Amino acid sequence: MRQRVPKLLAVASAGGHWVQLLRLVPAFAGFDVTFVSTQEGCRSEVPHHRFYWVNEASRWNKFALLLMSIRVARLIISARPDFVISTGAAPGYVAVRLGRLIGARTIWLDSMANADELSLSGQKVGKYADLWLTQWPHLASPRGPRYMGAVL
């Protein structure tokens, strides 16, 4: 009997979050990976994978946040990932929260840019992620996030 390849949903906002997510691609070997980002142009950087675009959103624009959340929810429902990983921001937060609801294992890797404190999304998502990581040793704590190195 052929073993099923585990499905991974990799989510990051465009820019630095996306760059950091792409640095993790070698760790995704052996997974059926679907990427999600907030800029259609990111598609060309993952040509051999499924890619979906969702709108950018923040807490300052509730309508955009609702629209993005609906799009991410549709992706979660249709893709049924076994794992969800995000390097941030809002779309990753939503994907980790919703992925957890369907039983996916979830990983949050807070942005390297957040050297002084965790990102707002990173602060809020920690209790929902199976593995909650920071890239700065001084931001790690016994209750999380953990520090296991940096990707940049």
Report the CATH number that the domain containing residue 74 is assigned in CATH. 3.40.50.2000
54 assigned to some structural domain = yes
- Mean of pLDDT values over 24-37: 97
In terms of C-beta density within 10 A (0-12 exposed, 13-18 middle, 19 or more buried), how is residue 14 classed? middle
- Mean of pLDDT values over 67-94: 97
| pTM of the shown model | 0.95
130 assigned to some structural domain = yes
119 assigned to some structural domain = yes
Q: Are 76 and 52 in contact (CB under 8 A)?
A: no
Q: Is pLDDT of 119 > 90?
A: no
DSSP 39-71: -GGGGGGSTTSEEEE-----TT-HHHHHHHHHH
Q: Are 112 and 150 in contact (CB under 8 A)?
A: yes
Predicted local confidence at residue 152, as pLDDT = 61
Predicted local confidence at residue 56, as pLDDT = 94
Average pLDDT, the chain: 94
Predicted local confidence at residue 31, as pLDDT = 98
Pairwise CA distance, residues 88 & 109, whole Å? 7
**Who contacts 62 (Cβ-Cβ below 8 Å, separation ≥6)?**
none
Strands 146-147 and 83-88: unpaired
Predicted local confidence at residue 123, as pLDDT = 86
2 assigned to some structural domain = no
For 32-80, what is each residue's pLDDT tens digit?
999 999 999 999 999 999 999 999 998 899 999 999 999 999 999 999 9
pLDDT band per the 50, 70, 90 thresholds, residue 2? confident
Number of domains present in the structure of the chain: 1
pLDDT band per the 50, 70, 90 thresholds, residue 101? very high
Two structure tokens written together for 31:
């997974």
Q: Are 93 and 125 in contact (CB under 8 A)?
A: yes
Give the H/E segment covering residue 28.
none
**Who contacts 130 (Cβ-Cβ below 8 Å, separation ≥6)?**
100, 105, 106, 107
Q: Which domain holds residue 63?
A: 7-147
Predicted local confidence at residue 1, as pLDDT = 74
Q: Is pLDDT of 13 > 90?
A: yes
1 assigned to some structural domain = no
40 assigned to some structural domain = yes
